Amino acid sequence: MNLKPQTTEPVINTEQTTKLDTPFLAGFPMLESDRVDILQQFHEAEGDEPYQEFVKRTFAYITDIDLNTVCSILNQLHAAYGFICEFVEYQNELDKLKEIGETACRTDAPALLTQEKKVEKEIGDMCYYAFMLHNLTTPGTVRVSEIIVCESKQHAQQIIEDIADLVKRQIFYRHQDIDFNGLGYKLLPAIKYFAYTVGKPLEYFILQNKTKLQKRYPKGKFDSNDAREKKDNNS
């Protein structure tokens, strides 16, 4: 079966492009003539080298490191990726909470309280991965009481963005000048800000997360079967 990308002259459907939904950045719409030009340029570029092949050629493959280093990298990546996933879930649950809050009040809306618990769970999950990233990159004990809260939502989000970029550049681009020391700890002021916005101390979310995982892993350590069953969801 031939899966080679087609390189024939493209047909630009201008009628279709005019029916697209309003762009997200509605204040900066693209002119129709510009849109058609972009599509034409794209198809010409695809004929020279399909973007899929370009990505394959320029990707930062890991091919020449020993097994111990691979394990170390995967553990760090697991912690960083886990944190980012929980941050995205936190943002999604927070948006849902805001939507519910616009139409309900605390006294007559159980759905609001249920959604608040989901937001709290995600903050606790972020704590877990931030602490694990600290364990993997930095010696020493985290003193929760000494963590200084971020000054704003923008600052908190910038910290997360910067650390995600550091992990990418150190692990995959192998920039040796990047210092991972304190990486997980740097995430904690951001999490403390998220905790602050829902009116509870960071310690509350750490305790909540620990209680949840104690129920999930009754043997006191990770077990793939326990992770799959998630017994804590039944309590």
Report residue 190 CA to chain centroid gap.
14
According to DSSP, residue 221 is labeled: S
- Tokens 């900066």 appear where? 28
Going residue by residue through the chain, which has 235 residues, state the pLDDT in tens, using 9 for 90 and above: 344 444 444 444 444 444 444 444 444 566 888 878 888 888 888 888 888 888 888 776 767 677 777 788 888 888 889 999 999 999 999 999 888 877 766 555 688 888 899 999 999 999 999 998 888 888 788 888 888 998 899 999 999 998 888 888 877 777 666 666 777 888 999 999 999 888 889 999 999 999 999 989 988 888 889 889 888 876 4
Q: How many CA atoms lie within 13 A of 207 on its CB side?
A: 5
Tell me the whole-structure pTM to 2 decimals.
0.73
Residue boundaries of the structural domains of the chain: 74-217
